[in-house]
Amino acid sequence: MRQGPVGRAVAERLWVFGCTVVRLARTPRTTAEGAVHGAEALHGLLPAVDAVVLCAPATDRTCAMFDARSLALLPDGAIVVNVGRGELVDTDALTSEVASGRLLTALDVTDPEPLPAGHPLWQLPGALLTPHVGAFTDAFEDASRDFLRRQPRRYAEGVPLENTVLSSPGR
């Protein structure tokens, strides 16, 4: 399994700032950039990291990989960033950790998505929510062209638009 384009882009940006990047994938290996730990090492690595950036797909093995147990292993003040899939994180467990002030989070994706209007994450000072815009990768240009071909036609024909997102409370 090779490192995906989003994970690679995140690592490259962090390396520029002198960050130590600890990479994790399904299977361990060594690359030109260094070690990639296997998934079985996750819990052993968490106590020593300041930030987690989730870029994984949603699979049977990754769904809720950041549950209450995993989140509890992170040090106080750590930040959980999810640009992968909302299902990677147990939203209730993360909400509890952020509400307590122990962890911070930045979420481009949530479970459920969209996050309901009354959900506590909208108001928590330690939470930053973005409108699922982490998709600005090499694939974005093609996806944008496809979107611009289909949506105006649907609008003109009075057909419901695809992939609409409800706005957050008070906006």
List active site positions: 85, 113, 132
CA distances from 57 to 65, 72, 126 (A): 11, 22, 25
d(CA 136, CA 144): 10
State both tokens at 48. 């020593």
d(CA 109, CA 129): 8
Short-list 44, 69, 41, 64, CA closest to 54: 64
CB 37 within 8 A of CB 28: yes
**DSSP three-state, residue 141:** helix
